[in-house]
């Protein structure tokens, strides 16, 4: 087939606007633009689609595992490849493999694997997310208390050195373990910083934002809540125009009414971003696995430790989009932005990702009117 292809027969959502009776142009691995079918040139090979919607591929900033692999258990390039491939079938064309709090040697292996994944252009790999170990013991969630610790000068040196070889490095931290001067040092290296697993006050959260934190990890979960006398991290994040918030939309982590409140609040530059917080179960029939030597069980759409603590999510991105459209006040197109455009904006990669405008990487999916995935393209190549 020609490297110049035009997809017709479906509506096109470019990440911001709808286009009807138009063709999506693909030139090799890039978007060539959107034109009316009548203006389509003969040098494009036409592919007729049967209705539905073409929309940007999903971008997931928190993916602990998939395809039977947990990054903590297999911090290797092979593990990263398996995770990326497992989520592709659910519309996620780009992601950040995420390491949950672990020992320093495992963290080093994950960083080395991520650097190798970047240097060899593993499909779907955008960078690395380190969720911990510099968190709060009080809000540890499923993170092992034996591995949570204060950041050190050596840690900062290692992380800033890693960022030199990684386009994107996101780290979830807590002010209890990382002070504002240290936050500024990490941010000055180009590292994206997110507050999470923290009991910080609203004032402490705002100070962290000023120092260089730009998001919060899985809003509402494992953080100080909004109350009428102490707004906590939740209140500080929702009240900040420029702070992005990850959101796990599975019906277990956050109540739909709480999501609706967040939707009303996040109207500035900082947006809500859908994340899956997915574990190794995605794309498998696996019913249990280990996390730092503790058993996690899968039952009824939930992943829990023996004491009932939620341990990540049994969630894929198209299911999160469906939940938003079916269970909250979010319309379909805003949900799609939350899964694509907004994560790209947060990572400062919106020149090439999260939309279907001219010059973008040709990552896009074809979905039905009922939000079922029909086909997936990554770097212009059809994968499903």
* Residues known to be catalytic: 277
DSSP 143: S
> Using an 8 Å Cβ cutoff, are 321 and 274 in contact?
yes
Q: Token pair for residue 174?
A: 């807590």
Residue 36, classed as helix, strand or coil, is: strand
Q: Measured between alpha carbons, how far is 295 from 287 in angstroms, rounded to an integer?
A: 11
Q: Token pair for residue 49?
A: 């689609």
**In Å, how far are 133, 161, 191, 202, 308 from 155, measured between CA atoms?**
10, 10, 13, 26, 32
Alpha helices (H) in 149-231, listed in sequence order = 153-163, 180-188, 202-211
Identify which of 103, 15, 28 has the alpha carbon closest to the alpha carbon of residue 54: 15
Q: Token pair for residue 148?
A: 């949570």
Neighbours of 306 (CB within 10 A): 10
> Using an 8 Å Cβ cutoff, are 15 and 337 in contact?
yes
Identify which of 144, 206, 214 has the alpha carbon closest to the alpha carbon of residue 186: 214
Q: How far, rounded to the nearest angstrom, does the alpha carbon of residue 352 sit from its chain's CA centroid?
A: 16
Q: Token pair for residue 367?
A: 């979905």
Q: Token pair for residue 306?
A: 């023996």
Determine if residue 242 is left, alpha or beta; phi over 0 gives left, psi from -120 to 50 gives alpha, anything else beta. alpha
**Cβ partners under 8 Å of residue 264, min gap 6:** none
């Amino acid at each position: 087939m020609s490297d110049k292809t035009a997809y017709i027969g479906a509506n096109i959502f470019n990440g911001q606007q709808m286009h009807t009776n138009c063709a999506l142009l693909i030139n090799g691995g890039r978007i060539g633009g959107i034109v009316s079918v009548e203006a389509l040139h003969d040098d494009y090979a036409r592919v007729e689609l049967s209705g539905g919607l073409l929309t940007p591929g999903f971008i997931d900033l928190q993916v602990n595992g998939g395809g039977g692999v947990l990054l903590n258990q297999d911090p290797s390039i092979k593990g990263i490849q398996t995770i990326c491939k497992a989520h592709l079938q659910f519309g996620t064309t780009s992601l950040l493999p995420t390491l949950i709090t672990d020992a320093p040697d495992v963290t080093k292996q994950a960083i080395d694997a991520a650097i190798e994944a970047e240097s060899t252009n593993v499909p779907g790999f955008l960078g690395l997310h380190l969720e911990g170990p510099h968190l709060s013991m009080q809000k540890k969630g499923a993170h092992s208390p034996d591995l949570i610790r204060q950041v050190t000068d050596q840690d900062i040196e290692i992380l800033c050195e890693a960022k030199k070889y990684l386009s994107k490095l996101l780290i979830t931290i807590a002010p209890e373990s990382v002070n504002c001067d240290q936050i500024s040092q990490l941010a000055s290296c180009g590292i994206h910083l997110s507050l999470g697993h923290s009991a910080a006050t609203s004032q402490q959260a705002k100070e962290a934002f000023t120092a260089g934190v730009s998001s919060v990890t899985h809003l509402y979960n494992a953080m100080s809540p909004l109350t009428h006398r102490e707004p906590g991290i939740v209140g500080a994040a929702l009240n900040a125009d420029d702070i992005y918030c990850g959101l796990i939309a599975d019906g277990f982590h956050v109540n739909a009414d709480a999501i609706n409140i967040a939707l009303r609040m996040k109207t500035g530059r900082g947006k809500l971003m859908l994340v899956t917080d997915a574990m190794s179960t995605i794309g498998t029939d696996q019913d249990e696995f280990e996390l730092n030597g503790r058993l996690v069980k899968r039952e009824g759409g939930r992943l829990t430790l023996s004491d009932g603590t939620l341990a990540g999510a049994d969630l894929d991105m198209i299911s999160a989009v469906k939940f938003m459209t079916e269970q909250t006040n979010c319309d379909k197109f805003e949900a799609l932005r939350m899964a694509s455009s907004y994560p790209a904006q947060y990572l400062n990669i919106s020149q090439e990702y999260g939309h279907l405008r001219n010059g973008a990487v040709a990552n896009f999916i074809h979905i039905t009117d009922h939000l079922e995935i029909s086909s997936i393209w990554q770097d212009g190549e059809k994968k499903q």
